Structure 1
Amino acid sequence: MPDTTEGDDVDYAERLAASSDVGKNAWQATLDEMDALADEFEAEGWQTVTIAAGHTAPENPSTGEGDRFGLTHVVPNNKAEEFTDLFEEGAFPQYEVYRNEIEGREFVVTVLSDPEKEAAILIAGSYELRHAPGCVKAAKREGKMYTHVQTLDKTHLGSFEHDDYTRFFPNADRIENWVRSGN
């Protein structure tokens, strides 16, 4: 039986606390980045909506609704109306993805913009990369990616199609093989 000393418990607790602090700091940095990007748009006279997703998940066809795949962001109810007021099907043809991977977790800001309307939707989310292989496989197979926005009760608010999945997954091969390699 291994010797469990008080020092080991303290080490474990310190590592856990440090990991938690790293995650909190990364999430705050993600939100700060989203706000800074929104400020840039607003300084140019654009209308913006910023959303910190309550939950983000890489969805793949075997776990979602039908053939749907992509990053699904659960939007707080207090942001749903603001989102739908700005969202239009087929609009927001431009997008940028800002990402930061820390300790197996992806922190992402997706910026969806419509230069004609001078409008931008910015969504911050975070998810564990170990849940992404199915989404990556579907994105590689289809050669595109999607962003889905819904409320907690699964009311679909809108989806965006993206022509380049590598903006979301620049290390697609590594992520696709995540489960096999145990990363």
Structure 2
Amino acid sequence: MPDDDPDPWTRTLREMKALSAELSEDGWDTLASPAGDTAAIPPDDDRRLDPGFAHVVPDDDADTFVEWFDPDGFERTRVFRAATPDRLFLLTVMLDEPSARAILITGAIDRSSLPPVRATAEETGVTRSHVLRVDGTHLGSFRHADPDPFFPE
């Protein structure tokens, strides 16, 4: 593909880098992490994790995440998405205004795995983003009170 018309994953990564730079210019500390793997977690699929999205981040990013994560922080979320018939590409931005820290995570998800996650989000009014290390260690989860931006029409 020509550079001026990149694929959705490349556009998602570019958007993450651009937004991270913009936030940094505005005085925020940012952690921008392209997940090595992202999966939709349906109800009852993984009893450790509530329904939502699980992102596996690289170890260097995981170390920073552990240092920054506050289960009561990061109350504001912004979501950007692109979709193909088979894949959903997400850029999820969690903002913690008191610490001026932003965590940006990108992920690509198989769209066929979304219906039970979406149904649960519509029923409960929330969805979650879980962050894990490559070895499966759960690092923390974010609760999103508005799940609609996570799902394509």
Q: TM-score, normalised by structure 1?
A: 0.77
- Consecutive unaligned residues of structure 2, counting only runs of 5 or more, are none
For residues 121 and 49 of structure 2, what CA distance do their matches in structure 1 show?
11
Give 2:27's aligned amino acid.
Answer: G
Of 62, 65, 69 in structure 2, the residue corresponding to residue 80 of structure 1 is: 62
Q: Summarize deviations over 1:125-163 as a string: whole Å, max 9, x none.
A: 001110111111111111111010001221010100011
Percentage of pairs with the same residue: 36
In structure 2, relative to structure 1, the CA distance for the partners of 1:29 and 1:67 (3 Å cut) is closer
Partner of 2:143: 161
Of 37, 42, 56 in structure 2, the residue corresponding to residue 60 of structure 1 is: 42
Partner of 1:90: 72
Tell me which structure has the larger Cα radius of gyration.
1
Runs (4+) of structure 1 moved beyond 3 Å? none
For residues 36 and 86 of structure 1, what CA distance do their matches in structure 2 show?
21
- The answer to whether the aligner puts 1:117 opposite 2:102 as a matched pair is no
3-state SS, counterpart of residue 43 of structure 2 = coil
Give 1:94's aligned amino acid.
Answer: R
For residues 92 and 143 of structure 1, what CA distance do their matches in structure 2 show?
18
Give 1:65's aligned amino acid.
Answer: R
Partner of 1:44: 26
**Residue 62 (structure 1) shift:** 2.2
**Residue 79 (structure 1) shift:** 1.3
For residues 40 and 138 of structure 2, what CA distance do their matches in structure 1 show?
16
For residues 122 and 81 of structure 1, what CA distance do their matches in structure 2 show?
15
Relative to its length, the structure with more helix (as a share) is 1
In structure 2, relative to structure 1, the CA distance for the partners of 1:67 and 1:141 (3 Å cut) is farther
Question: Cα RMSD over matched residues?
Answer: 1.5
